[in-house]
Structure 1
Amino acid sequence: MRLWSSADADSRHFRESIRFFNGHFAFTTLGVSLDNNYTNMKSGVYTFRAHGTMYHRVHSFGPRSRPEHLQLYFYDDDPSLSHRKEATKQLDQHVVRKLVDVLRENPYSQQFRSLGAHKENLEEYRIDLNIDQKLDQRRYNRPVSSEVAAIWVEGSDLANRFNRSITLYGDNNEKYKGNSRLRVSIRDYYCYRLQTRPMIFNPILQGARLFQQWGVDMFIKIEGCRLKWIRDHQREIRADLYQGLVGSIAVGEMRASAIGKRIVLPGTHQGSNRDMKRRHMDAMALVQTSGKPDIFLTMTCNPSWEEILNELLPGQTPQDRPDLVARVFRAKLETMKEMLFKKHILGVVVAHVYVVEFQKRGLPHAHFLLIMNSNYKLVVPEQYDRVISAELPDRHKYPELYAMVVKHMMHDPCGNLNPKNIH
């Protein structure tokens, strides 16, 4: 907890290099195609953007030219930690040793260290990691050694295999996964993990850049599960109506090898072709029935909102808490909608459409198209001037508004006059 939340030198180094520490001490290897334009920036806002699939690979634990990840735990009884030093030259070895000492209490780490004596012929063994039914994974209680089955199994007899287990072999990379039961949705579970609870330490929210990696990883997992369900239930969404040999020929496809099985995404899957088409047609229907939009309004997120800054943990910046930024923006968006559609601050709105987008830097913004009641449509310049202002408010008549415009709407000199300008 000290490394996650304190302000001393060790803790700062740990958090600044947290993705490297996590990658080194993880039992698995992270596989991901990163957008390096935003991940490895020397300045600006750090953003973890992944292209395609993220995966976590469990290697075999047999001898390799250089041990890494799970294999390193077999050597942690070495007082010099020479193998870990070789793999962490860019990290503070004092912090590395502290983490090794902390992980000595991990029951899986204890088992691997106790089995390190067999490292000369590891390829002849395999490990079964039992997923014990007695563990309450919803609470993430710490398992004790007696509840964790990590055992050596000699020979090829499968009689003693657990029904639900992960098996690691010494001479290949096979992985066995048993049946599992789903009690809550993946999305609900990770939403639960993201909540802030008084007096309960949540390391996820302290993870800074690792928090972004975790969030992207979990979203890809959620989206992957949704797509898998759609692939496995094509009959229920009547996908056969959208494909077939006749349809392929109708679009000009004459090569039999190019005609495959098509997976159809339903209109309920956000971002699919049918979903985007439906949204477009709904927006056009509003124009057809209520007329052309009168006001184009944009609402942007300000990372300096006091609702965000007041909830940051010590040492954090808004980019470290994308969950907090999104929640505050959503709350203010709902307030904006109430002001527009119930309090009628711009007049009576008869129809509207809006979309929420996220910038490449992670901050959200919303675009509104408002169709006003005929009595509130803007038709003369004087009416536009009551809604839109492109000049500084009177400093003496509207001091608060003047201060806000100067702070948020004006750009300071840059270039040679102000090379460090960040507005």
Structure 2
Amino acid sequence: MSASSKKNCDPVPASSPAFQIDCPRKSRSFDRLSVLPEYIDNGDCSCVCEYCGVLFWYVERALNMSTAAHPRYTHCCRGGTVILPYLYRFPSQFTGLYESRSFLKDVRAYNSMFLMTSFGANVDDDINDSRGPYVFKVSGQISHKIRSLLPDPAKGPRFLQLYLFDIDHEVENRLRDFDGPGSNTLDSTVINYLSRFLAESNEYARTFKNAKQMAEEMELESYAVRLFNHIEDRRYDLPLPGSLGCIVNGDDTTSTTYDIIIHSHHGHPQRISKLHPSYMPLQYPPLFPFGEEGWSPRLKLANRRGASAQNLTMNMYYAYHIHARQHIWSPIMNSSRLFQQYLVDAYTCIEESRLDYIVKHQSNLRSNYVSGLYDALSKGDRDVGSIGKRIFLPALFTGGPRFMYNHYLDALSICRVYGNPQYFITFMCNLKWPEISRYMDTHHQTDTHSRADIISHVFNIKVREFIRFLKEDKSFGDVEAYLYTIEF
């Protein structure tokens, strides 16, 4: 049925199995209200943020700031207020690794071989035993721990220590130390190249190696390396030699706030704070090959229009880095399964920071006192002496008990006013949606599951467009109220 016959057709019945639209690709002048409810194609990811060059779909524009001819976007750099360093050029041999299927298949194994800090988490590998796309899933907290500079003679060098000892047999040592999944399929040529490249280019590896050499020249029996917890105001250049850390005498290891003190020996593994700029670079050397600094509490938004500088939050930082940019190649965005691990790691950092804030500001969350008393009484804790200290999550914490309970009450209130829902409609994310397929073809990528960001972009577009279709096209009549949930 053609678009011109829409006015003469009846609304789609409730028994209709699906909505599809037979129409050409959407352009900026495309009038979606003039076509039948079949399949709405949202076009290509071709719109560019004028400030940072991130690629978006046209429908993702900020409606209150955009015009039809000049779309603007805020999810990436907050209108140009987030300015962070990024590299324009990587060696061709390095970028070529991320185009190799064999490398991407074992990219997590290669990262585990070169990481400088251990990855502590309860990883659920059983979820990938069945058919379906690869999923990286953890439960509980994630921690990064770093060991001493000198290895235990009984165990041999591990993690960071592999960068410093027995360099002539580094590849053999790394293969011998690594016994994880995929160890039999790892390419020694790739390992040899990454060993040489990171040893020459990674500022953290060079800092540790220089500290070891200086200690040997000065005949120090005990020494330590201090990694600074600061970020200089650099926007587009690489870390300078000596800017990330320094060597200190073993007797002078007083730590300032969040500085990392790595002892030469006799040091137990210490946990790296998520607030330290080396938290991610030490864990993901293939993603930060030059030792680029990560997020720090000292980062500020760009000062615009004379306003006072505001803090650049952890959420803003990671949102900036997980967007694909025009003409800018990023190892993070092209690392397939390692990209999934990085996303999970970043998300847990953000959640933990929010929880830490709630714990430290319990006295300011005055409404929680009343809620806490009610919760205690409802659970039968009438003896104040036996209650102890409770930490209450406010309703603003996404996913918390009060957050879910408030939404549940809102849903009941809507049903009480408007009655029970008339339609229960479901749809699932389809990895073969034309928008996703075209994006993968345009960027020469084959594994759709390796770009969870693109899948999320398109799925959220479809959710918003479907709700708009129900409200504006009125195929089921006037919409007085609607509720929806997203399940994973």
After TM superposition, is the score higher than 0.5?
yes
Quote the Cα distance in structure 2 between the aligned partners of 1:257 and 1:82. Answer: 60
1:171–1:122 CA distance, 2 compared to 1 (3 A) = farther
Distance 1:38 1:255, change over 3 A: same
Change (3 A) 1:133 1:275: closer
- Secondary structure of the structure 1 residue equivalent to 2:359: helix
| Structure 2 CA distance for partners of 1:200 and 1:250, relative to 1, 3 Å | closer
- After TM superposition, what 4+ stretches of structure 1 lie above 6 angstroms from structure 2? 119-123, 161-164, 175-179, 254-257
Q: Aligned match of 1:126 in 218, 224, 230?
A: 224
Matched, 1:171 2:266: yes
Which residue in the other structure is 2:114 paired with? 25
CA contact under 8 A between 2:253 and 2:261: conserved in structure 1? no
Is 1:325 aligned with 2:455?
yes
Equivalence for 1:208:
336
- Indicate the residue corresponding to 1:242 in structure 2: 371
Name 2:146's counterpart in structure 1: 58
* Contact 1:48-1:212 within 8 A present in 2 as well: yes
Which residue of the other structure, out of 176, 179, 204, is the alignment partner of 1:86?
176
Q: How far is the alpha carbon of 1:80 from its aligned partner?
A: 5.9
For residues 80 and 299 of structure 1, do their structure 2 counterparts lie closer, same or farther at Cα, with a shift above 3 Å needed? closer
The CA distance in 1 between the partners of 2:426 and 2:473, in whole Å, is 18
In the alignment, residue 67 of structure 1 is paired with which amino acid?
P
| Distance in structure 1 (CA, Å) of the matches to 2:465 and 2:203 | 49
Q: Is 2:37 the partner of 1:37?
A: no
| TM, length-normalised to structure 1 | 0.74
Say which SS state the counterpart of residue 473 (structure 2) adopts.
Answer: coil
* Deviation for aligned residue 1:13: 2.5
Question: Does 2:158 align with 1:68?
Answer: yes
Find the aligned partners of 1:176 and 1:48 in 2 and give their Cα distance. Answer: 22
Question: In structure 1, what is the Cα distance between the partners aligned to 2:151 and 2:267?
Answer: 11
Question: Given the alignment, which residue of 278, 291, 306 partners 2:406?
Answer: 278
Task: Report which stretch shifted further, 340-349 or 163-172.
Answer: 163-172
Q: Superposition RMSD on alpha carbons, in Å?
A: 3.1
Range with greater deviation from structure 2 (274-283 or 78-87):
78-87
Instruction: Judge which range, 318-327 or 338-347, deviates more.
Output: 338-347
Q: CA deviation at 1:302?
A: 0.9
In the alignment, structure 2 segments of 5+ residues that lack a partner are 1-89, 277-295, 300-310
Cα 1:297–1:57 change in 2 (3 A) is: same
| Identity within the alignment, % | 29
Residues 179-188 or 47-56, more deviating? 179-188
Pick closer, same or farther for the CA change 1:258–1:320 going to 2, 3 Å: farther
| CA offset digits 1:107-162 (Å, max 9, x no partner) | 221233344456899872211123454353xx4742131434332x2241358x77
* Partners of 2:376 and 2:97 in 1: CA distance: 63
Q: Which residue of 1 is the match for residue 476 of structure 2?
A: 346
Work out whether residues 117 and 159 of structure 2, in 8 Å CA contact, stay in contact via their aligned partners in 1.
Answer: yes
Task: Report which of the two has the higher share of strand.
Answer: 1
Amino acid at match of 1:83: N
2:427 is paired with a residue whose SS is strand
| Change in CA separation of 1:333 and 1:123 when aligned onto 2, cut-off 3 Å | farther
Structure 1 counterpart SS, 2:486:
strand
Which amino acid counterpart does residue 120 of structure 2 have in structure 1?
G
CA distance in 1, matches of 2:471, 2:319: 29
Structure 1 unpaired stretches of 5+: 359-423
Between the aligned partners of 1:122 and 1:19, the Cα distance in structure 2 is: 37
In 2: Cα distance, 1:115 partner to 1:157 partner: 15
TM-score, length basis structure 2: 0.65
> How many residues were matched structurally?
351
Q: CA deviation at 1:6?
A: 3.9
CA contact (8 A) 2:207 2:244 kept: no
Given the alignment of the two structures, is residue 181 of structure 1 paired with residue 298 of structure 2, yes or no? yes
1:12 offset after TM fit, Å?
2.6
Question: Which residue matches 1:147?
Answer: 243
